Amino acid sequence: MSRFSSQYEYMSLDDFEERLADKPADEKWELIGGRVVRMMVGARSFREMAVYQKLPSLRHYAPVERDRAHIETFDRAGEVWSGVRILDGLAAELDLPAIGVSVPLAEIYRDVIGG
């Protein structure tokens, strides 16, 4: 692990907000268990999912693409994670029944993608 990676793998929310405008295109940051964690964009699938699967209260995992209307959603019923639901395009809607929420992708991407 490079010095940069070890230095910024876990950072405070203040550090996260300061660096957000300058972050490299191959990085994304997420809040996991109250900590901001740096993730590599291309390494999303299994490595990140393993981290999320350890959070017992998590029922939905929905990573959001930042430059196009595309979300791959995973849902958990009890201890079992389902396959992926792919939502593509501004007309799609993200349903998160465990928390009683349904949000159109057009709303999620309102300030990102002109519609």
pLDDT in tens, 8-41: 455 565 666 566 666 666 666 666 666 666 665 5
User: Domain coordinates of the chain in residue numbers?
Assistant: 1-54, 56-115
Percent of the chain with pLDDT strictly greater than 70:
58
The structure tokens 């393993």 sit at 50
Q: What pLDDT, in 10s, does the model give residues 52-69?
A: 778 889 999 888 887 789
- H or E stretch covering 29: strand 27-32
What is the C-alpha separation between 42 and 47, in angstroms, rounded? 11
What global pTM score does this model have? 0.58
Count of other CB atoms within 10 angstroms of residue 79: 7
Whether residue 42 has pLDDT greater than 60: no
pLDDT of 44 reads: 53
pLDDT of 98 reads: 92
DSSP assignment, residue 16? Answer: H
